[in-house]
Structure 1
Amino acid sequence: MVVSKMPQTTMQLWQAWKDERDVEAKKQLIEQYLPLVDYVTNRMAIGLPKTVSKDDLSSNGVMGLIDAIEKFDYCRGNQFETYASWRIRGAIIDGLRQGDWVPRSVREKAKKVEEAYQVLEQKYMRSVTDSEISSYLNISEKDFTTMLQEIAVTTICSLEDPIREEESETRLSLLVDEKAKNPDYKVHEFYLKESLVQGIKKLTEKERIVISLFYYEELSLSEIADVMSLSPSRISQLHSKAILRLRGALAKHKDQLLQH
């Protein structure tokens, strides 16, 4: 008589994998959390060029999930889904970087707009208008809108870039995960948070709503468009401008972040 094994709980699977190195338990954990890869992939795929394969994003995401399962310490009582999401995002971003998916000309345009926001908002100490940015760049507002559409893809992962190349901690994680503390980061973490707070204060009301809904409520850009009764392209523009403003606010601390 063959006695079938009773289904294991998630905690039992973690114990079997971490304490006994049970490979079958690891496989079951991967299968259990695969929907998390789909969720993160679908969110990050929004706004990326059609040339970027969603299957490639998913493949990188799965590698991130496996890495998360390898490194997660279930004994600490932390939420695995949160930890794994960062690892999955990080793996997808690494894959995008290696694929060099953004043309240099688009990166240069993004840099120019970012610098324009940095210079003008430091000068006026307020949120600058599209007209002021256009004037600074010596282009029409229509051309500026077109430029925003072109560089939108460069802003999707901006706040999820790691502070250090070899680390998984990101600028956004410093805002949303208060438990992610590292003594080595204390000094520049303080200045980074202050810079982000000041940068967020300079966003327009609509830009703040988009950032909040996208990064904190985890809505997609299309869902945000429905909530705000705006077109997806308009939401994409608001997201791009918000990220470029924030990147401008962070620019003066960039060297400090890389030195420590």
Structure 2
Amino acid sequence: MIEPKTPHLSNIEMWQEWKENGNIEAKKQLIEHYLPLVDYVSNRMAIGLPKNVSKDDLASNGVMGLIDAIEKFDYQRGLQFETYASWRIRGAVIDGLRQGDWVPRSIREKAKRIEEAYQLLEQKYLRSVSDAEMSEYLNVTEKEFLHMLQEIAITTVCSLEDPIREEESETRLTLLVDEKAKNPDYKIQEFYIKNALVKGIERLTEKERIVVSLFYYEELSLSEIAEVMSLSPSRISQLHSKAILRLRGTLAKHKDQLMEK
């Protein structure tokens, strides 16, 4: 999928030189070695963004995320750097977009309204709710509801740096801990989160499940998914938005339940 440039030192030698000896040249080689990750992540995230958002700006923020990942990564834990770095790059790009304040507050408020509506209605009916039911609850037409989904499409791209709840400091990144560490509380939390996600995914419509699977597991772009499913890119974007907002509502409900216990 990604072909990093061949460095002068082997991968493990670069990490050893940088982490154990503080060799700046080795750090530069690591950055060059993993730079294709920045292009890969930023290009995927550029899909669906407004035209005024520069791809160069996305890549620049992504490079900062890569450098941060290289500085913080512990290569001796046996974890895969590419996965860790991809999330750091993704988080840095989204943080850069937020600092640019390119998403109007009204759009974020719409996203929050829809997420809360999915959470309330699906908790009430214990099933996936239809667009018609959502439209009725939000007091808009189905056409207006689909337009709202199109408007908030990019806000459904989650960063691990985002707070799980807006009023709290805990982020999704805090849920990533060393799997080798024996932490019973984390294992219990992990168990309930997985169960919540399974239940949330089960409530997605068939098309929403396919979009989530192709986007997050097969790593296809939204335009590629549109070709596979013979739908328009805007329709795929709507399906993705609905799926993520449903899952966010499920996780928010899960967190509330844990706090009550």
TM-score, reference length from structure 1: 0.85
CA contact (8 A) 1:90 1:160 kept: yes
Deviates most, 107-116 or 185-194: 185-194
Match of 2:117 in 1: 116
SS of 1:203's equivalent in the other structure is: coil
The one-letter amino acid of 1:140's match is T
Match of 1:190 in 2: 191
Superposition CA RMSD, Å: 2.7
Match of 1:150 in 2: 151
Partners of 2:25 and 2:14 lie apart in 1 by 9
Shift of 1:20: 1.7
The 5 A counterparts of 1:68-147 are 68-147=69-148
Deviates most, 246-255 or 106-115: 246-255
Match of 1:34 in 2: 35
Partners of 2:231 and 2:25 lie apart in 1 by 48
Match of 1:212 in 2: 213
CA contact (8 A) 2:208 2:240 kept: yes
The one-letter amino acid of 1:112's match is R
Match of 2:248 in 1: 247
Shift of 1:23: 0.9
SS of 1:32's equivalent in the other structure is: helix
Shift of 1:65: 0.7
Shift of 1:203: 0.0
Q: For residues 182 and 112 of structure 1, do their structure 2 counterparts lie closer, same or farther at Cα, with a shift above 3 Å needed?
A: farther
- Any gaps of 5 or more consecutive residues in structure 1? 1-5
SS of 1:253's equivalent in the other structure is: helix
Shift of 1:249: 1.3
- 1:25-84 per-residue CA deviation (whole Å, 9 max, x = no partner) reads 111111111110011111112222233332222111111111111122222222211111
Q: For residues 256 and 121 of structure 1, do their structure 2 counterparts lie closer, same or farther at Cα, with a shift above 3 Å needed?
A: closer
CA contact (8 A) 1:188 1:256 kept: no
Match of 1:53 in 2: 54
Shift of 1:159: 7.2
Q: For residues 257 and 12 of structure 1, do their structure 2 counterparts lie closer, same or farther at Cα, with a shift above 3 Å needed?
A: farther
Shift of 1:256: 6.8
Deviates most, 124-133 or 72-81: 72-81
Q: For residues 182 and 37 of structure 1, do their structure 2 counterparts lie closer, same or farther at Cα, with a shift above 3 Å needed?
A: farther
Match of 1:201 in 2: 202
Q: For residues 223 and 83 of structure 1, do their structure 2 counterparts lie closer, same or farther at Cα, with a shift above 3 Å needed?
A: same
Aligned length: 250
- Any gaps of 5 or more consecutive residues in structure 2? 1-6
Q: For residues 170 and 226 of structure 1, do their structure 2 counterparts lie closer, same or farther at Cα, with a shift above 3 Å needed?
A: farther
Identity %, equivalent residues:
74
The one-letter amino acid of 2:119's match is Q
- 1:158-181 per-residue CA deviation (whole Å, 9 max, x = no partner) reads 67735474756277x69xxx9487
Match of 2:3 in 1: none
Deviates most, 145-154 or 97-106: 97-106
TM-score, reference length from structure 2: 0.85
Deviates most, 35-44 or 100-109: 100-109
The one-letter amino acid of 2:20's match is D
SS of 1:7's equivalent in the other structure is: coil
Partners of 1:199 and 1:159 lie apart in 2 by 19
Partners of 1:111 and 1:156 lie apart in 2 by 14
The one-letter amino acid of 1:100's match is D
Partners of 2:161 and 2:48 lie apart in 1 by 15
